[in-house]
Amino acid sequence: MALTFNTMKNRDLNKIDLSYPLFQGTQKIYVPGKIFRDLRVPFRQIVYGNGKHLNLYDTSGPFTDPDIQLTISKGLPPIRKTWTAQGTGDASSCKVSRKKQIKKKKCYTQLHYAKRKVITPEMEFVAIRESCTPQLVRQEIAAGRAFLPANINHPESEPMIIGQKFLTKVNANIGNSAVSSDIVSEIEKMIWAVRWGADTVMDLSTGPDIHETREWIIRNSPVPIGTVPIYQALEKVGGVAEELTWDIFRDTLIEQAEQGVDYVTIHSGIRLKNVPLAAGRLAGIVSRGGAALSRWCTKHQKENFLYTHFSDICDILAMYDVGISLGDGLRPGSIADANDRAQFAELKVLGELVKRAWRSEVQAIIEGPGHVPMHLIKANVDKEKRLCHQAPFYTLGPLTTDIAPGYDHITSAIGAAMIGWYGAAMLCYVTPKEHLGLPNRNDVKDGLIAYKIAAHAADLAKGHPTARHWDDALSWARYHFCWDDHFRLSLDPQRAKSFHDETLPEKHSKKDHFCSMCGPKFCSMKMTHDIFEIKK
C-alpha cells in the first residue's frame, strides 16, 4: 500500500534526502534476540585503534542501513508486524495471540504483560539495546517506573524504553504551524532528527494538514511518535478553545491512536480551581494545551473535560497500547515563575491521574518544566518522584535563564543535564529557535546535539554502567593522536574533522602528534608521552 499526498503543495516528495551515509570507519550492525530469535537490534559500530570497537545505541533506523532500499511513499518495513503475531514470550500463563486480541478489539498493553511477568519481544529488544536483562525491563515497566511506547498500529518503530534506570532519552519536537513549513519539510526534519539521536519525535503540527503530515511521519518513523491531540481538536473548532467538546476530542484521540501514535500528551491535570493560581505570574501560562484548557475552564466555569473524562481516555489508550504523557499545562515559562503554587498544584493532580492510568493498564509519564534556575531543579524531581509514585519524568529543558533567546538549546542543556542526573528519564529538546520561530533542519540538529550531550552527561553522572565506554574510547584516541579515530568516535564526526581541517587540512596532519591549538612544541600530551615513554 502506498501513501499518497493529497495536499502536497510546496515541494516534491522526491526531493527528500534519504542518503545518510555513516562516517568512514562506522557500520550498522544488528544483534539477534535470545528469547525472540528474529529480533534484529541495531547498533552503530565504530572500529578504532587496531581492532577495538564500540557499539553505540542507534536511533537512526533503516535510513543508515545501506542494505535497505527505502521509498518514502511505501513507509518503513513494519518490523513489529511479525512479532505481534507470534505470542508474548516465555511465561506460559499469558501466551495469547496478539493478532487475535487486536481482532477482538482487546489489546493488552506492555504494562499488562509486565504485571503478569510476561516478557514481550519489545521488552527483549530494548533490553539488548540497553545492555541489560529483559527481566529488569519487565520489572521496571510493571512498577510504572519505565515506559515502553509501542502502539500496536505503529509496527515500523524500533522499541525503546524511558525510565530512570535506563539511558536518558531525548525527544525532538517537529511539526508545522499555520504560518510556516510544509509536509515535506516535516518529514525531512523527522529523518534528520533520528539521524542525530532523537529517541522519540513529537509531531506538534498546528497548521493545516495535521492528519496527513502525521500519517507520513508515522509510516516513516523508526522511533515512537508522540502528539498533543488537543492541537488537532482545536484546529477542528477554528482555534476557539471554548468551543472544544469531549466528543470532538474523543474522536480526535481515536483517529490518532488508529494511525499509530505511540504516546499522547493530555492536559488532564488542568483543574478549574487551579487556573487562578497562575494569574499573578510574570509569564502566564506557556503551554499551548494548558492555556487552551485553562481558557475552556474559565469561560465555561466548568471542570476540565479531560479531567472528568479521564477514565474514558484511558479506555481508548489501552485499546492500542498508546501511552499517556500527563501534560504540565501550568509549567513555569520564566525564571520568576519557577516552582510556584500553580505548577505544584497541577503536579499533585498528575500524581492522582497516573495511578488511575496504571489501573487501566495504560503506561504513563509525567511532563515537567520549563524555566527553572539551577538551585530549584532538584526539588522538581524530588516532588515528582514523591507525588507521582516514581513514574518516569519527561522534562522540557529546563532553561536555567531567560536572557538568551537564540541560544536556548544551551540555556536548557544545562538544566536538562542536571535534571537527567537527578532522575528525569527523557529530555525534550529545545532548539536555538525557541521563543522566536519554528525550527528548521539546522535548528533540529543543533537542539539534538545539545541534548545528546546533556543526556550522556546525565548518564555518566548517574553511573549508568555502559555510559563511560564512549568517553574512554574517545579520550584514548585523543591521547594517542589517532585523529581519524578521534573524529569517528565523536558525536558529530563531520564537524570534528572539519574543525581540524580548518587549520591543518593536509592528510599527513591526521598523523601528527599535535594540533594547531598548541603547535608541535607545546602539545602537553606529546610531552606526557615523553615523560612516561608511552607507546601506542
Query: Which parts of 230-289 interact with a second copy (CB under 8 A)?
Result: 231, 234, 238-239, 241, 275, 278-279, 282-288
Please count the other Cβ atoms lying within 10 Å of the Cβ belonging to residue 32.
11
Closer of 156 and 186 to a second copy (Cβ): 186
CA distances from 130 to 29, 163, 432, 499 (A): 15, 11, 30, 32
Q: Does 502 bind a second copy (CB under 8 A)?
A: yes
Q: How far apart are CA 509 and CA 515, in angstroms?
A: 8
DSSP 403: S
Give the interface segment with a second copy, choosing from 244-252, 300-308, 383-391, 465-473 (CB under 8 A).
465-473
Closer of 139 and 334 to a second copy (Cβ): 334
Q: How far apart are CA 257 and CA 246, in angstroms?
A: 16
The number of helices, as runs of H, and strands, as runs of E, in the chain is: 20, 13
Q: How far apart are CA 152 and CA 108, in angstroms?
A: 10
- Compute the least distance from the CB of residue 22 to a second copy, in Å: 16
Query: Which parts of 337-376 interact with a second copy (CB under 8 A)?
Result: 371, 373-375
Q: Any long-range contacts for 84-88 (C-beta under 8 Å, 24+ apart)? A: 84/152, 84/155, 86/36, 86/121, 88/113, 88/118, 88/119, 88/120, 88/121
Of the residues 17, 436, 465, 513, which one makes contact with a second copy according to CB under 8 A? 436
Closer of 210 and 364 to a second copy (Cβ): 210
Of the residues 169, 433, 445, 488, which one makes contact with a second copy according to CB under 8 A? 433
Nearest to 203 by CA among 177, 237, 222: 177
DSSP 213: H
Of the residues 9, 53, 336, 511, which one makes contact with a second copy according to CB under 8 A? 336
Closer of 124 and 346 to a second copy (Cβ): 346
Of the residues 71, 437, 511, 536, which one makes contact with a second copy according to CB under 8 A? 437
All three cell numbers of 208: 493545516
Residue 398, preceding peptide bond in cis (omega within 30° of 0): yes
CA distances from 447 to 196, 357, 408, 434, 536 (A): 10, 31, 9, 10, 36
Of the residues 35, 277, 479, 484, which one makes contact with a second copy according to CB under 8 A? 479
Of the residues 4, 19, 93, 524, which one makes contact with a second copy according to CB under 8 A? 524
Contacts of 164 (CB under 8 A, 6+ apart): 145, 146, 390, 392, 393, 423, 424, 425, 462
Of the residues 18, 255, 453, 466, which one makes contact with a second copy according to CB under 8 A? 453
- Compute the least distance from the CB of residue 317 to a second copy, in Å: 24
Of the residues 28, 189, 445, 456, which one makes contact with a second copy according to CB under 8 A? 456
Show the binding pattern over residues 371-410: x = contacts a second copy (CB under 8 A), - = does not.
x-xxx------------------------xxxxxxxx-xx
DSSP 94-121: G---HHHHHHTT-PPPHHHHHHTTPPPH
Q: Does 23 bind a second copy (CB under 8 A)?
A: no
- Compute the least distance from the CB of residue 89 to a second copy, in Å: 35
Burial of 507 (0-12, 13-18, 19+ CB in 10 A): exposed
Q: Does 334 bind a second copy (CB under 8 A)?
A: yes
Query: Which parts of 182-241 interact with a second copy (CB under 8 A)?
Result: 206-207, 231, 234, 238-239, 241
Of the residues 458, 481, 482, 488, which one makes contact with a second copy according to CB under 8 A? 458
All three cell numbers of 298: 474559565
Closer of 357 and 424 to a second copy (Cβ): 424
Q: Considering only CA atoms, give the Rg of the chain.
A: 23
Q: Does 303 bind a second copy (CB under 8 A)?
A: no
CA distances from 289 to 106, 204, 294 (A): 30, 11, 8
Q: Does 470 bind a second copy (CB under 8 A)?
A: yes
Show the binding pattern over residues 146-185: x = contacts a second copy (CB under 8 A), - = does not.
-------------------------------xxxx-----
Closer of 107 and 455 to a second copy (Cβ): 455
Of the residues 298, 339, 378, 389, which one makes contact with a second copy according to CB under 8 A? 298
- Mapped onto helix, strand or coil, the DSSP state of residue 228 is coil
Give the interface segment with a second copy, choosing from 126-134, 212-220, 290-298, 344-352 (CB under 8 A).
290-298
Closer of 340 and 352 to a second copy (Cβ): 340
Q: Does 463 bind a second copy (CB under 8 A)?
A: yes
Q: Does 529 bind a second copy (CB under 8 A)?
A: yes
- Compute the least distance from the CB of residue 431 to a second copy, in Å: 10
All three cell numbers of 322: 498508546
